[in-house]
Amino acid sequence: LWRRGGVTVLTFTQQRHGQTSRRPPALRCEEAPTLRPCLMQGEDTRLPGLPRYVRINTLKLGAKAADRALLESGYRRAADAADAGKRSYHCDEDVPDLLVFKPKGKSDISRLPLVATGEVVVQQKASCFPALALAPPPGAVVIDGCAAPGNKTSHLAMLMENRGRVLAFDMNERRCALLRERMALKGASIVSARHASFLSAAPADPEYAGVTHVLLDPSCSSSGMSLDPITEPAALAELASNQRALLLHAMAFPGVTAIVYSTCSVNEAENEMVVAAVLQAQADAPPERRFRLVPALPAWHRRGHRCAAISGAARREEVAACCVRTLYPDDGTIGFFVARFEREAAAPPPQPLPPLPPT
């Protein structure tokens, strides 16, 4: 039993083929979405040397007010990352309202008063991509199927200007209570935390008839953010199976027009392969039920992988061009993956795919 960041974690030993292992079995997103492998060990297994990122929560604070408050805390805004001052920060070039601080050990943003009041959110750059890729408009009804601890959930509410509804699912009662507390702190009043599994939500239930957007960031191997990710083939296969099931479940909601799927994994088996399998699984569905892959965040430079295991050259190119990846340490953030699906009957005509580097 140990604690980190106010979270109590129980670790278990597991007998496997006569040997004792401290690694837990793979967990489904609705079972433990916040317990990544880096939180299952006593040591700090996070990737070193990354900038610290703070997202301004515009539900409570504007950019100018944030600058003033940070100045009072001893930090000053710099023009760019070249500024050598330890107590300086600059605006991220890709994510609106995201501030970039020096790496851990050179800045201490967790002690900022703005963090305690929910006026800013400590959040890795790549973790901001899913909400930006989904981009639900104000007034939309959105499901966050794997919500805890809630950074992406509050980002959705912020992008929606606190107009509409966000139904945030978590199966664990304690995590769900924590999610409610964090949304209240951040002023995300449109978020309704549901103590339930997203997989238990019936698509035909009239309560969900108005849902138009779904965000899915399920449990994964954490291979993009941890020095000690899940690597066992059986565990990876279980994770991928659950990821496919969640996506297909989201596609069964009749009013949904857009779905964003993301992981903090660099494994093709959890990323491009999951996307390709889901596209194949619903390929024969009628157009009003079928989803297609569309370019996520087209301006982002790093696209998906051409996976040799995906059948068909056209499908390989489609998946690679439409999906987004981030690479540690090249992109200054954790390794991440994002894909966006749109219902064919509701989607505009296909646009040209972003260019890919030559093979």
Count, residues in the chain: 359
- Tens-place pLDDT, residues 79-107: 888 877 778 999 999 999 999 999 987 88
Among 264, 307, 322, 323, the active-site one is 264
272 neighbors 307 (Cβ within 8 angstroms) = yes
Mark whether 264 is an active-site residue. Answer: yes
> Quick one: pLDDT at residue 98?
98
Ranges under pLDDT 70 in the chain:
1-45, 347-352, 358-359
Cα 70 to Cα 109: distance, rounded to the nearest angstrom: 10
Cα 198 to Cα 100: distance, rounded to the nearest angstrom: 34
- Tens-place pLDDT, residues 264-308: 999 999 999 999 999 999 988 888 899 999 999 999 999 999 999
Nearest to 309 by CA among 353, 277, 341: 277
> Quick one: pLDDT at residue 347?
62
Cα 2 to Cα 11: distance, rounded to the nearest angstrom: 8
Cα 187 to Cα 59: distance, rounded to the nearest angstrom: 6
> Quick one: pLDDT at residue 351?
64
Angle made by CA atoms 31, 259, 334, in degrees to the nearest 5: 65
- pTM (two decimals): 0.86
162 neighbors 152 (Cβ within 8 angstroms) = no
SS (H, E, C) the chain: CEEECCEEECCCCEEECCEEECCCCCCCCCCCCCCCHHHCCCCCCECCCCCEEEEECCCCCCHHHHHHHHHHCCCEECCCCCCCCCCEEEECCCCCCEEEECCECCECHHHCHHHHCCCEEECCCHHHHHHHHHCCCCCCEEEECCCCCCHHHHHHHHHCCCCCEEEEEECCHHHHHHHHHHHHHCCCCCEEEEECCHHHCCCCCHHHCCCCEEEECCCCCCCCCECCCCCCHHHHHHHHHHHHHHHHHHHCCCCCCEEEEEECCCCHHHCHHHHHHHHHHCCCCCCCCCEEEECCCCCCCCECCCCCCCCCHHHHHHHHHHCEEECCCCCCCCCEEEEEEEECCCCCCCCCCCCCCCC
Nearest to 97 by CA among 48, 132, 72: 132
236 neighbors 230 (Cβ within 8 angstroms) = yes
